Amino acid sequence: MKKTGSQILLECLALEGVETVFGYPGGTVINIYDDLMDSPIHHILTRHEQAAVHAADAYSRVTGKVGVAIATSGPGATNTITGIATAYMDSIPMVIITGQVPTPLIGNDAFQEADMVGITRPITKHNYLVRDVKDLARIVKEAFYIARSGRPGPVLVDLPKDVQMATAVFEYPETVELRGYKPTTAANPRQLEKAVDMILQARKPVIYVGGGATLSDVSEDLKAFAEAIQAPLTTTLMGMASFPKQHPLSVGMLGMHGTFYANMAVTNADLLIALGARFDDRVTGKIATFAPHAKIIHVDVDPTSIKKNVRVDLPVVGVLPDVLPRLVEGLQSQPERLAEAVEATQGWRDQVEEWKQQHPMAYKKTKSTIKPQYVIEKLRELSDDDAIVTTEVGQHQMWTAQFFDFTQPRTFVTSGGLGTMGFGLPAALGAQAAFPKRQVIDVSGDGSFQMNSQELATLVQYRLPVKIVILNNNFLGMVRQWQQLFFDKRYSQTCLELPIDFIKLAEAYGAKGFQATKPEEVEDVIRQGFATPGPVIMEFKIAREENVLPMVPAGAGLNEMVLAS
């Protein structure tokens, strides 16, 4: 029996194990939405296409599955761009389906036409324009395979309306044949041998872990590796939740707003073992003074990440679930040398511990004003262990990274690479849709929150009990901080002068709101917020000119940290 393109699409999604999709209907996807009524796939209607993509992105970040979003052609499709670019920069596996005008109209500047394959080429791992319904099942199969394999990423499938209406015999291919796409999985054994040797010879080793560890779920392997060689371990923002900060070997996050001791460790290391990280400029600071004494081993699934920004002494192309156990095995096959190396690095661990004592992560508490760091600490204290935290982008994001001690992988959802304000609320929506019973918290600033606050409606409609924390300083705080430090306090366009009544805003959407203006109210508001069913806004009026510290000024070396205002 023949099926229509839109039916084929939905059957393919079901066969790929898709349970929930996020989207927004429109003229060129009306057929898909009609067939969706007869499909077991659950659809969540966001209030903006950008939010649908962020939600699907976060759904993927917390579950490890491929996230799926649907949007109509033209403006619907172009609204997905920020979402797609966000997922691309953080290597999130997604499939985005956009409607397209009928094939005979393509190129005619038809109503709601946009060249999506052209527009998204630099921000997708791959993309497709489906011109014939007979290719549709194969293309969807390939899209999912490409999205989740190798270094994951978003794949866009642009589906013209006439292709959705055309019919074909549905047959889902069992395998994918792509002669130009064969991602490496197993690392070269000789490179691993060399890595083991370099590790055993190192006297000041540091492990540097990125988002690759989060994406490949290697928390246990990572722990085994770090403990085997007893090396201090630092993570990027994206790698953070894959290794608990409470672990004695953890030195927290490195980079621009990293800890003093992580940056000192990297600057003084003689061996840097990079695992699924890409030496982003926010991590390295000035390249010339980044890890100047260290040999670098770089393990990554994507060969283009290696030697892109920094020199690398030993490249290892492969995936961490393969590489880490093999490294541990290689090290343990030489027990004497390993014991000797662990002993010889004791002085190094002592040194790192001394740096930790010298400048621990800290802030000045005050009685009169709420310190944002205090709110984050209290949030950690009062939330569940497996609570998922999403953030927007700015100061609140960095305070969350610095002061919320994540203990479980895939519990921290944040836009690292693109730095997308407005990400956190729809991301929390997607995470809550994936885990309706877990606590989901969006930590936000008053600026970022307003970039996608319309999603309060979606939360209320679908009874998604997201707890929104707004650290309100009436500023675009991170830019203000830069203006304070580097532009002589000239606060150009960073003061959000109109005070918003966030409590009334919550109520307007049918949610609840609480506010704290003094430090002693913080705990009560958090308790109340968590105890209240349904979506809740907890607003904290925080110290207006609090800064995120330490800070490595843009273009400076990691050892040139500003430690206090």
Residues that bind another protein (CB under 8 A): 117-118, 121-122, 125-126, 129, 131, 146, 178-181, 302-304, 307-308
CB of 307 to another protein, least distance (A): 6
Catalytic residue among 478, 538, 551, 561: 478
Q: Which two tokens stand for residue 385?
A: 């262990």
Distance between CA atoms of 545 and 557, rounded to whole angstroms? 25
478 is catalytic: yes
Distance between CA atoms of 117 and 71, rounded to whole angstroms? 14
Q: At what angle do helices 320-332 and 219-229 cross, to 10 degrees?
A: 30
Distance between CA atoms of 317 and 195, rounded to whole angstroms? 12
Q: Which residues contact 372 (CB under 8 A, 6 or more apart)?
A: 395, 396, 399, 471, 473, 540, 542, 543, 546
Distance between CA atoms of 100 and 103, rounded to whole angstroms? 8
Q: Which two tokens stand for residue 442?
A: 């969006």
CB of 122 to another protein, least distance (A): 5
Length of the chain equals 565
Q: Which two tokens stand for residue 128?
A: 């497709």
Among 391, 395, 420, which residue's Cα sits nearest to residue 406?
Answer: 391
Distance between CA atoms of 276 and 213, rounded to whole angstroms? 6
Within 10 A of 453 (CB to CB), how many other CB atoms are there? 21
CB of 77 to another protein, least distance (A): 17
Interstrand relation of 233-235 and 250-253 (parallel, antiparallel or unpaired): parallel
Q: Which residues contact 224 (CB under 8 A, 6 or more apart)?
A: 324, 325, 328
Distance between CA atoms of 346 and 205, rounded to whole angstroms? 11
112 is catalytic: yes
Catalytic residue among 161, 204, 378, 467: 161
Q: Which two tokens stand for residue 520?
A: 């002693």
Our CB check for another protein shows the closer of 308 and 463 to be 308
Catalytic residue among 3, 11, 22, 49: 49
Within 10 A of 545 (CB to CB), how many other CB atoms are there? 14
**Alpha helices for 404-496 (secondary structure H):** 424-434, 446-449, 456-461, 477-486
Our CB check for another protein shows the closer of 131 and 359 to be 131
Q: How far is CA 380 from the centre of its chain?
A: 19
Q: Which residues contact 38 (CB under 8 A, 6 or more apart)?
A: none
111 is catalytic: yes
Our CB check for another protein shows the closer of 304 and 357 to be 304
CB of 301 to another protein, least distance (A): 11
Interstrand relation of 2-4 and 167-169 (parallel, antiparallel or unpaired): antiparallel
Distant-in-sequence contacts of 542-545, Cβ < 8 A, 24+ apart? 542/369, 542/370, 542/371, 542/372, 542/375, 542/471, 542/472, 542/473, 543/366, 543/369, 543/370, 543/371, 543/372, 543/473, 544/473, 544/474, 544/475, 545/473, 545/475, 545/480, 545/484
Q: Which residues participate in catalysis according to the annotation?
A: 49, 111-112, 161, 478
